Amino acid sequence: MRADPTRIDRLVSTYLDHLTVERGLAANTLLSYRRDLRRYAEHLAGVGVQTVADVGEGNVSAFLAALREGSEEHPPLSASSAARAVVAVRGMHRFAVREGLVSDDVSRNVHPPAAAKRLPKSIPLEDVERLLDAAVREETPLALRDRVLLELLYGTGARISEAVGLAVDDLDRSAGTALLRGKGGKQRIVPVGSYAVRAVEQYLVRARPSLVAAGRGSHMLLLNARGGPLTRQSAWAILRTVAARAGLPETISPHTLRHSFATHLLDGGADVRVVQELLGHASVATTQLYTMVTVDRLREVYATAHPRALG
């Protein structure tokens, strides 16, 4: 006898087959969906729901709550993991409607939980200075280039792709500005500090000519040992190497310097709208995450310095 296609266990299998064959999802994604949907089927079976026609919006909402609360069998899920599970469940219910198994999508008003906003990580100015000093222990062409890379990342707040994408002509050293090409092809002109300008000038005079000579000629600013453009992967490796030399954590990334750039500006009194422009954020809401960091720091200072902060 043919299995009832509206049964939850049968629907889970059919939907997973659909994702595998017609959607071509990655193996890891399919594994997560399979785990999430089987947990959903167990949850429904536990309350006596056997077919998709018997599922109500309250069942879907209750499943989301169960994911967040956890149980003896399952630990509570984070907001991001619960969101992934809800996305899988909603996808299956939409599939059931398209296949004509039910007429109504009872999951459409159940929204995944919003992931908690992660505060950007920054490092203190003294750690930035240690990092920059560690870039040039020996004044070789590659060491001078490494110093330029790090000075630009911290001095302009550039993304790693924007830094390695700089051409020589994108830097106006007399004006102290750089033309950055950001996401979606958007361009912005940002100030370049005197420390970074001096590092660039030293590199252009004492290092880049020998690097260019090793290759076929390039208009890009940052070059590798073979005279070709520096890649994002190589820039990451440079930062990790220099950070280890400076005794700083391996978790430091190009974004750490970008975050430090923004946080230190705000700590120094810069307006959040100005920092938004410098970072190339489309929305000021993204930049305002950094103000949360500085407020936490102000709160710490207040708590330790004000005579009536603590009772």
Q: How many CB atoms neighbour CB 196 within 10 A?
A: 24
Q: Spell out the CATH class of 8-98.
A: mainly alpha
pTM beyond 0.75, yes or no: no
Sketch the domain layout of the chain as residue ranges: 8-98, 125-251
Counting Cα atoms < 13 Å in the Cβ hemisphere of 298 gives 12
pLDDT tens digits, 28-72: 888 989 999 999 999 999 999 999 999 999 999 999 999 888 877
pLDDT tens digits, 250-298: 789 999 999 999 999 988 888 888 989 999 887 787 787 777 767 666 6
- Average pLDDT of the residues in 79-83: 84
Do 8-98 and 125-251 come out as alike in CATH topology? no
With b meaning 16 or more CB within 10 Å and e meaning fewer, what string describes 267-281?
Answer: eeeeebeebbebbbb
Query: Which residue(s) pair with 180 in the sheet?
Result: 188
What angle, rounded to 10 degrees, do the helices at 57-69 and 27-46 form? Answer: 110
- Environment class of 97 (CB within 10 Å of its CB; exposed 0-12, middle 13-18, buried 19+): middle
Give the whole-angstrom CA distance, residue 270 versus residue 273: 9
Comparing 124-128, 136-140, 214-218, the range with the smallest average pLDDT is: 136-140
Q: How many CB atoms neighbour CB 294 within 10 A?
A: 18
Categorise residue 152: left if φ over 0, alpha if ψ from -120 to 50, beta otherwise.
alpha
pLDDT of residue 115 exceeding 90, the answer is no
Query: What's the fold here for domain 125-251?
Result: hpI Integrase; Chain A (1.10.443)
Question: Residues with catalytic annotation?
Answer: 159, 183, 255, 258, 281, 290
Give the whole-angstrom CA distance, residue 42 versus residue 48: 10
